[in-house]
Structure 1
Amino acid sequence: MDPIVTPTHGLKGAPMIVAELMTPKPVTVAPNDTLEAAHERMEAGRFRQVPVVDGEKLVGILTDRDIRQHIGQLAHTRVDAVMSAHPFSVRPSTPVEKAAHLLIANKIGSLPVVEDGKMVGIITASDMLRALAAVLGDASEDSSRIDLDLEGSGEIEAATNLVRTICPLLGVGTYQRKRNQPGREILYVLVPSASGQRVAHALKEYGFKVLAAHF
């Protein structure tokens, strides 16, 4: 099952949005640039794809694969002749989990970020990994993970409040149990390993549906 990146902040939690992870004002190329110029820019920044903008408007995306297919003709081929027009994009306010779904479902490495018709940033698969690290918090060999079925366990706030009465809460997040059950969410909490069994027992005692405890 694929995790849906949903970091929480505070007791009630708030979804992380693209604006918190994106790279603002990314390197871009113009439609009338040559592939040679675009390739040099991508090599300098070690990018595998680069947005194509006309003024401030996103018009396409160029990948290293596009360039490889025209080796020997880079100096004589324009970007707009080989770029992918109308690329997938997101807004700064898009939840990170939705952006992650677009990356995975469409097998792409990045998403331009557009607001009011203008390109304002880019978010990549590497940014998603950083988001996952934020979700996992202080996860380490000294932490334990406990999975709860939210459908049968009530509110996230109640569960995290209970955990905090026992030990520090190292991390918390949610993921979808199955792709064909989009409404079925699993809450996981990370706690110090020394307190794992005690936390799992307390959660069960208070009526939370514990699916698994990874000590």
Structure 2
Amino acid sequence: MKKREPISKIMTPNIKTVNQTNTLYDVKDMLEEEQFHHVPVVSGDKVVGMLSKTDLQKISFINTVDGQGLTTAMYDALTIEQVMTKDVETVQKTDTIHDVAVTLAKNQFHALPVMDGDKLMGIVTTTDLIDYLIEQYN
């Protein structure tokens, strides 16, 4: 196994983002449509937060009458800024897969934005790391 490979090798590039003017409904729809679990929140080019499917599930708490899932009553009451994780740690595209894995494990993160300097280049998740490991042991 190569120990010095950059995280850019396994990150997901060309990701979708949201900003604080989007609604929680927008984020919910995007996560469901795109079938991913994390989305960076940006202000211009700056990453200001991260929202996950789990964050949205935490605020959806009442069962609907028709059994279609959970209501989103709190989506009307809260903003992205109130729900997102702030002060998100980021990694650089040249950081090694090993170093990023250590950061994810140590901090119990499930996703990190990948940057090229100050520019968002992609996202890396624990699933990306597991897929990488599986590939190494095939």
Fold match, TM over 0.5?
Answer: yes
Question: Partner residue of 2:67?
Answer: none
Task: Tell me the equivalent position of 1:121.
Answer: 122
Distance 1:38 1:75 in 2: 13
Aligned residue in 2 for 1:39: 28
Q: Secondary structure at the match of 2:31?
A: helix
Report SS of the residue matched to 1:132. helix
Change (3 A) 1:93 1:36: same
Corresponding residue for residue 133 of structure 1: 134
Greater relative contact order (Cα < 8 A, sep 6+): 2
Distance across 1 between alignment mates of 2:52 and 2:116: 22
Tell me which of 53, 58, 73 is aligned to 1:64: 53
Structure 2: distance between partners of 1:110 and 1:124 = 4
Letter paired with 2:55: D
| Backbone CA RMSD of aligned residues | 1.6
Alignment partners' CA distance in 2, 1:126 and 1:118: 23
Q: Which residue number in structure 2 is paired with residue 89 of structure 1?
A: 90
Percent identity, please.
Answer: 27
Unaligned runs of 5+ in 1: 1-6, 9-13, 139-215
Tell me the distance in 2 between the aligned counterparts of 1:65 and 1:126. Answer: 15
SS, match of residue 69 in structure 1 = helix
Cα pair 2:92 2:117 within 8 Å, conserved: no
Compute the TM-score of the two structures, normalised by the length of structure 2: 0.82
Residue 104 of structure 2 corresponds to which residue in structure 1? 103
1:97 aligned counterpart, secondary structure: helix
SS of the equivalent of 1:40 reads helix
Within the alignment, does 1:52 sit opposite 2:53 as a pair?
Answer: no
CA deviation digits over 1:119-164, x for unaligned, max 9?
A: 110011111122213332x4xxxxxxxxxxxxxxxxxxxxxxxxxx
Q: So what's the TM-score if we normalise by structure 1?
A: 0.55
Contact persistence 2:110–2:125 (CA under 8 A) = yes
**Which structure 2 segments of 5+ residues have no match?**
61-72
Q: Distance in 1 between matches of 2:79 and 2:106?
A: 29
Equivalent in the alignment of 1:75: 76
**Does 1:26 find its partner at 2:15?**
yes
Contact 2:51–2:85 (CA under 8 A) maintained in structure 1 = yes
Runs (4+) off by over 4 Å: none
**CA distance in structure 1 between the aligned counterparts of 2:25 and 2:135, rounded to whole angstroms:** 38
Structure 1 distance, partners of 2:37, 2:12, is 15
> Between Structure 1 and Structure 2, whose CA radius of gyration is higher?
1
CA contact (8 A) 1:92 1:115 kept: yes
In structure 1, what residue type is equivalent to 2:25?
Answer: E
Equivalent residue, structure 1, for 2:66: none
